Amino acid sequence: SSEAEEMEAYVCRMEQGPPWEGFRGGEEAQDLLRLMLTFDDHRRPSLPQVLAHAWLRDARGDAGGGLSAEKLDCLLNFDGINDLEEAVLLDVASQIPLREVRGLAALFGSMDREKDGVLDVEELAAAMEAAGLEPELAHRAAAHFAREGMVEFSRFVAAMLPARRGLLMRHLKAAFRRLDTDGDGVLTREDVRSIINEDRCGPSRPSRRATRIFQALSNDGTSPVSFEDFSAYFHGMCAQGPSRCSRRVTDASCFFDDND
């Protein structure tokens, strides 16, 4: 009957969800709405899960009760990322409007006991220790992260971005354009080579490191890197989560060499 057909069409539309093409919010806001509009009530998130969503945490602008285990993992893993990942994350972090990272700003401010706008090693170590890291490891981890003795807010945000996929992906296109120095729409091996940090790998190894990074980015290991390749790489990086190196706060000593 026509009523049955109309009902079937209605249910089909409900399962598909609303048209997102005209949605003007960010990816994290869209992700939250998608979750809340999940048609299957067995898969729909609970109220505590909704309230814990990153978009709402930032909207509240709270510090979330201090440095969480997830955020601690982000800080620890940042020391193990490659030069390209670090350059892109720092570039994105330096361009994100403050209104999009209010929660992180509140957390950073709560860790900044001297209220001078930066974190020193002692402040960062104290937050890491409060998050569950042993005192000695907390101090070593803080010293690793604060390479020049101080941590600016942009570096702190950069470390958190792998756990904030929507935020990172929203700003990734602009970062790609800034890395594409000749504006041809792709990244070449030389583009990648230009951002390799000799301080991290020594003057004789940048070419080999650039080759490995380029091969990981390129669709076939040799072709120039399109934005689609670039986006897929960072999407995969985020999909692995903040513990992408499979190392947890309980065995954080594996982040450091014995000679450190």
Task: Tell which of 164, 188, 207 closes a domain.
Answer: 164
Q: How many CB atoms lie within 10 A of CB 105?
A: 18
Q: Based on the domain organization, do 79 and 159 belong to the same domain?
A: yes
Q: What is the pLDDT of residue 73?
A: 93
d(CA 215, CA 225): 9
d(CA 217, CA 227): 10
Q: Based on the domain organization, do 171 and 128 belong to the same domain?
A: no
d(CA 11, CA 178): 45
Q: Based on the domain organization, do 182 and 229 belong to the same domain?
A: yes
d(CA 189, CA 232): 18
In a domain, 248, yes or no: no
pTM of the model: 0.70
In a domain, 97, yes or no: yes
Quick: pLDDT tens for 57-116.
666 555 556 888 889 999 999 988 888 899 999 999 999 988 888 888 889 999 999 999
Q: What residues contact residue 61 under an 8 Å CB cut-off, 6+ apart?
A: 102, 103, 105, 106
Say what percent of the chain tops pLDDT 90.
37
Long-range contacts of 67-70 (CB under 8 A, 24+ apart): 67/107, 67/111, 67/127, 67/128, 67/130, 67/131, 68/131, 69/131, 69/132, 69/249, 70/163, 70/242
pLDDT band at 175 (very low <50, low <70, confident <90, very high): very high
Instruction: Retrieve residue 251's tokens.
Output: 């065995």
Q: Based on the domain organization, do 83 and 147 belong to the same domain?
A: yes
Q: What residues contact residue 191 under an 8 Å CB cut-off, 6+ apart?
A: 179, 180, 181
Domain that holds residue 225: 165-239
> In DSSP terms, which residues pair with 119 in a beta bridge?
151
Q: Based on the domain organization, do 158 and 181 belong to the same domain?
A: no
Chain centre distance of CA 198: 24
CB 218 within 8 A of CB 101: no
Q: Based on the domain organization, do 196 and 233 belong to the same domain?
A: yes
Phi, psi torsion values for 128, nearest 5 degrees: -65, -40
* Ranges 126-140, 157-171, 182-196, 229-243: which has the least confidence: 229-243
Q: Based on the domain organization, do 77 and 140 belong to the same domain?
A: yes
Q: Based on the domain organization, do 156 and 189 belong to the same domain?
A: no
d(CA 38, CA 260): 49
CATH of the domain at 92: 1.10.238.10
d(CA 80, CA 38): 37
d(CA 173, CA 122): 36
Quick: pLDDT tens for 2-47.
888 888 888 788 777 788 777 777 767 888 888 888 888 888 888 7
Domain count, the chain: 2
Task: Tell which of 113, 142, 164 closes a domain.
Answer: 164
Q: Based on the domain organization, do 76 and 104 belong to the same domain?
A: yes
In a domain, 23, yes or no: no
